[in-house]
Each structure stands twice: as C-alpha cells, then as structure tokens.
A and B are shown apart, each in its own frame.
Chain A
Amino acid sequence: MHLPKLASIGIRAPRLSAGNLRTPLRTLGPGSVSSLLKIALDVAYVLLALITGVLLLLWVASIFIPIDNLNVTVSDGADGRQMPLTRPLLLFGVGAITAYFGGFLMILRGLRKIFRTLTLGDPFQPDNVRRLRQIGLILAIVTGGVWVAQGLVAARLAPGVMEPQGVSDLLTPVFSILVVFVLAEVFREGARLRRESELTI
C-alpha cells in the first residue's frame, strides 16, 4: 500500500537535532546549575559539620554526665514502657547518631570536591573516580550500620513496638550504592578517554 508523504498532506514532522536535545540551562562550568548545587552543598556541609561537632561533644559529655535517675520511654503511641537509661545505652544512642551524621559529612565532603570539578568544567579526573568509590563505600557502611542498629533496637530495646528490619528494606539503598559504583566506573572510563585524547597529537 502506498502512503502519501507527510509534507504532501500538510504535516511537518519535527526534526531531532543536537540543538533540540540541549537543556535550556547550562549544567557545567561557572554560573551553571552545578555551581548552584555546589553552593547548596557548601551550606549543607557547614551545617552538618556543626551538627556532627555538637553531637561529638555530646558523646564525650555522655561519658561523664550523671544519668542515675533518668529513664527512657519506649512507646508506639498509646501506652509507653519505661526502662532505665544506662551508660552503654546512652553511648550507643548518641554514638550511632554521631556516626550517621559523620558518614553523611564525609559523603558531602566528597560531593563538594566533585562539584568543584564540575564547576570548573572538567569532571573526568582520576580523583573523582576515587571520590565516587569512597562515597559508595561510606554510603554502604552507613546504610548497613543503620540497618543493624535499627535491628538491634527493634530486638533488644523495643521488642513488639518496632517492626523488625527485613532484607527488603535494603533494596533501595543497595540499588543506590550500586548506581554510585557504576557512576565511578563511568568516570574512570571518561578519565581514560580524556587521557587518550590529551595524548593524541
């Protein structure tokens, strides 16, 4: 069957070219989206550093402060159960929160350095590969740590109140971690191609 051409019946198909596929905003270089994100990361990094510092001081202080008459209330809303606040429990609680924030502080530190290279318009550097791998590793440790800590709390501290952790809770974090490691490999390949291009005369 012969079909008439689109132009002959008055329909013009849109042309796809590199110009059409470009994003309206600049994503790399000075004054681009990445430089805005870098400023946001800088602010978040300073705030997180302050919070982590305060938590670290609190953790050190919790070794010495008297906690004889303090209780912890474990509750799921209706009726709570009280249990004495022990020194190991306090140190575990404050320490876990400090480690959580410290982990994200290290992730933000790496991200800031990566975004600095994006702002300079030169992202494919071997250092970025190392940074992305570190971020993936820290993310894995923090996620695993949170999963184990929540499991411990659910089993020991609040049995029946908190739902025990399941393996399905790890699916999304594991996927994110794998994406970071794949991104690191993409950057490694980019850095290799950049080096090849530099040494092509």
Chain B
Amino acid sequence: MAIRVQLDRILAERRMSLTELADRVGVTVANLSILKTGKARAVRFSTLDALCRELDCQPGDLLAHEPGPGDAFDDAEE
C-alpha cells in the first residue's frame, strides 16, 4: 500500500498518547494501532473527521502517498 498514515509523527508533535487519542475519537486502541502501523485498508470519513478534529490538523497532514514498486498490484495479488 502506497498510502502512509503519519499518525505517530503527529501524536509525537502533539505529545499525545494513542490511548488518549482513542478515548477522544471513540475508536479502540487496537483499531488505531492498525491505522498507525499501516495495516488498515480503508478509513471512514467519520473517523478521519474525528481524528482531524482532535489532532487539529488536515487530512493531508495525516496521509501521505509514497509510491513503491508493485503498489498498483497490491489488491490484485490478494
């Protein structure tokens, strides 16, 4: 997946823990951990909205596109 979630960087900048963010956003720590480690396949707009609201950032601050070899075939291979 070429999309990277830069949650850990923003959390470090805000000096906020994953557990605290999970409490504020209303998402479990396990799910936020999936998001942070890049294992998530999709993010709901409602989750993105809550994350941006609590972290006081834009969606573009959270997500980054880093193309790598064979990224376009990720879905086809699975």
Residues of A within 8 A of B (CB): 192, 195-196, 199-201
A200 CA to B78 CA, complexed, in Å: 16
A195 CA to B41 CA, complexed, in Å: 9
Whether the Cβ atoms of A199 and B44 lie closer than 8 Å is no
A200 CA to B44 CA, complexed, in Å: 7
**Distance between B49 CB and nearest chain A CB, rounded to angstroms:** 12
- B10 surroundings in chain A (CB, below 8 A): none
24 contacts between A and B (CB under 8 A): A192-B78, A195-B41, A196-B41, A196-B42, A199-B34, A199-B39, A199-B40, A199-B41, A199-B42, A200-B40, A200-B41, A200-B42, A200-B43, A200-B44, A201-B27, A201-B31, A201-B32, A201-B34, A201-B35, A201-B40, A201-B42, A201-B43, A201-B44, A201-B47
The count of chain B contact residues (Cβ–Cβ below 8 Å) is 13
Residues of B within 8 A of A (CB): 27, 31-32, 34-35, 39-44, 47, 78
**Distance between B30 CB and nearest chain A CB, rounded to angstroms:** 10
* Seed contacts A201-B34, A201-B40, A201-B42; 20 additional CB < 8 Å A-B pairs: A192-B78, A195-B41, A196-B41, A196-B42, A199-B34, A199-B39, A199-B41, A199-B42, A200-B40, A200-B41, A200-B42, A200-B43, A200-B44, A201-B27, A201-B31, A201-B32, A201-B35, A201-B43, A201-B44, A201-B47
Q: Which of A196, A200, A201 is most buried by chain B, counting CB atoms within 10 A of its CB?
A: A201
Q: Which residue of A lies closest to B31 (CB)?
A: A201
Name the 6 nearest CB pairs between A and B, nearest first: A199-B41, A200-B42, A201-B35, A201-B31, A201-B40, A199-B40
Q: Which residue of A lies closest to B39 (CB)?
A: A199
Q: Which residue of A lies closest to B27 (CB)?
A: A201
- B35 surroundings in chain A (CB, below 8 A): 201
- B40 surroundings in chain A (CB, below 8 A): 199-201
Q: Which residue of B lies closest to A200 (CB)?
A: B42
Q: Which of A192, A195, A196, A199 is most buried by chain B, counting CB atoms within 10 A of its CB?
A: A199
- A196 surroundings in chain B (CB, below 8 A): 41-42
A195 CA to B35 CA, complexed, in Å: 15
- A192 surroundings in chain B (CB, below 8 A): 78
A90 CA to B40 CA, complexed, in Å: 61
Q: Which residue of A lies closest to B33 (CB)?
A: A201
A195 CA to B31 CA, complexed, in Å: 13
A97 CA to B44 CA, complexed, in Å: 57
**Distance between A117 CB and nearest chain B CB, rounded to angstroms:** 22
A29 CA to B48 CA, complexed, in Å: 34
A160 CA to B40 CA, complexed, in Å: 67
